[in-house]
Structure 1
Amino acid sequence: MSTDTPPDRLSSNPKSPHYDAAAIERGVGVRFKGVEKNNVDEYCVSEGWVRLTLGNSVDRKGNPMTMKLQGTVEPYFRDAG
């Protein structure tokens, strides 16, 4: 996949249907409302939301606790390709 545009929706959880190992390996950065975020678990550009992990907290199944926020999402690839 040789494109300079990250996927519209991407999850870092391998169990998610929106997981894309190639994109994650390449390195996707996310700006949310103009601020760089390093704790993004999942995002969707077309719906305008991000799901952020909350520290080291986990739920009873061992998954990271997350919070969904609405706003402008700008994903980009960290490297040149």
Structure 2
Amino acid sequence: MTDSETPEQTTAPAGGATPPDRLSTNPRSPHFDVDILQRGVGIRFKDRVRTDVEEYCISEGWIRVAAGKTRDRHGQPLTIKLSGPVEAWFEDQPKD
């Protein structure tokens, strides 16, 4: 395969120093990556560390969080989208 035939990656590699621009904890999402989630990703939203984030996007400036215990008709948690400054970091160092 030549360089022009390689697929474009939308997320950062699991061994990188910075988390990807967009990541989801839902396995049904195209932005789900188990290797990155196992490392642990910390999220700061509006100068507050959040542990309840379902999905985030740094470049667009939003996070999705569960809306209480409410579920949709498919049994998935109902989420709300909050806009504001988002920072992400890895909780642990990459394993070589």
The two structures share one fold, judged by TM-score above 0.5 = yes
The structure whose residues are more often strand, as a share, is 1
The percent of aligned pairs where both chains have the same amino acid is: 52
Q: CA RMSD in A?
A: 1.0
Q: How far did residue 50 of structure 1 move? A: 0.3
Gaps of 5+ in 2: 1-13
Where 1:74 maps in the other structure, the secondary structure is strand
Bigger CA radius of gyration: 2
Per the alignment, residue 9 of structure 2 pairs with: none
> C-alpha deviations, 1:17-67, integer Å up to 9, x for none?
011111111111100011011110000001000001123221111000111
Gaps of 5+ in 1: none
The letter for the 1-side match of 2:46 is K
Per the alignment, residue 34 of structure 1 pairs with: 47
Per the alignment, residue 11 of structure 2 pairs with: none
**Number of residue pairs aligned between Structure 1 and Structure 2:** 81
